[in-house]
Amino acid sequence: MPPQPRYLTGDLAAISSFIDTFSTFLFDCDGVLWSGDHLFPNVVETLDLLRSKGKQIVFVTNNSTKSRADYKTKLDSMGIPSNVDEIFGSAYSSAIYISRILKLPAPRNKVFVLGESGIETELASEGISYIGGSDSAFRRDIRQEDYTNIADGSALDPNVGIVLSGLDFHINYLKLSHALHYLKRPGTVFLATNTDSTLPSSGSLFPGAGSIGIPLVNMTGIQPEVMGKPSQAMMDAIEGKFKVDRAKTCMVGDRLDTDIRFGIEGKLGGTLAVLTGVSKKEEWTVEGAKVVPAYYVDKLGDLMG
* pLDDT category of residue 287 using cuts at 50, 70 and 90: confident
pTM of the model: 0.86
* pLDDT category of residue 12 using cuts at 50, 70 and 90: very high
Question: pLDDT at residue 76 above 90?
Answer: yes
Alpha carbons 305 and 8: distance in angstroms, whole number:
9
For residue 213, the one-letter residue type is G
* H-helix or E-strand spanning residue 175: helix 173-183
Question: pLDDT at residue 116 above 90?
Answer: yes
* pLDDT category of residue 126 using cuts at 50, 70 and 90: very high
Burial grade of 286 (CB within 10 A; 0-12, 13-18, 19 or more): exposed
> Region 181-189: what's the mean pLDDT?
98
Question: Could you say which of 11, 20, 30, 152 is catalytic?
Answer: 30
Average pLDDT, the chain: 95
Alpha carbons 49 and 56: distance in angstroms, whole number:
11
Neighbouring residues of 115: CB distance < 8 A, sequence distance ≥ 6: 64, 65, 91, 133, 164, 165, 166, 167, 168, 193, 209, 212
Helices 209-220, 173-183: crossing angle, 10 deg rounding: 50
* pLDDT category of residue 305 using cuts at 50, 70 and 90: confident
Alpha carbons 304 and 46: distance in angstroms, whole number:
6
> Region 158-184: what's the mean pLDDT?
98
> Region 275-284: what's the mean pLDDT?
94
Question: pLDDT at residue 1 above 80?
Answer: no
Q: What percent of the chain has pLDDT over 70?
A: 99
Q: How many CB atoms lie within 10 A of CB 269?
A: 17
Helix, strand, coil content of the chain in percent (nearest 5):
40, 20, 40
Radius of gyration of the chain (CA): 20
Burial grade of 202 (CB within 10 A; 0-12, 13-18, 19 or more): exposed
Q: Which residues pair with 190 in a beta bridge?
A: 163
Helices 173-183, 144-151: crossing angle, 10 deg rounding: 10
Alpha carbons 278 and 254: distance in angstroms, whole number:
6
Question: Could you say which of 11, 20, 28, 37 is catalytic?
Answer: 28
Query: Distance between alpha carbon 111 and the CA centroid of its chain, in Å?
Result: 19
What pLDDT does residue 25 have?
98
- Per-residue pLDDT reduced to its tens digit, 195-226: 989 988 888 889 999 999 999 999 999 999 99
> Region 37-42: what's the mean pLDDT?
94
* pLDDT category of residue 113 using cuts at 50, 70 and 90: very high
What pLDDT does residue 237 have?
87
Alpha carbons 216 and 175: distance in angstroms, whole number:
11
> Region 270-290: what's the mean pLDDT?
94
* Catalytic status, residue 37: no
Residue of 92, 39, 101, 128 whose CA lies nearest to 242: 92
Residue 300 to residues 33, 84, 196: CA-CA distances in angstroms? 7, 22, 21
Strands, DSSP E only, in the chain?
6-7, 24-27, 34-35, 38-39, 56-61, 87-89, 110-114, 130-132, 160-165, 189-192, 198-201, 204-207, 225-226, 249-253, 270-274, 295-297
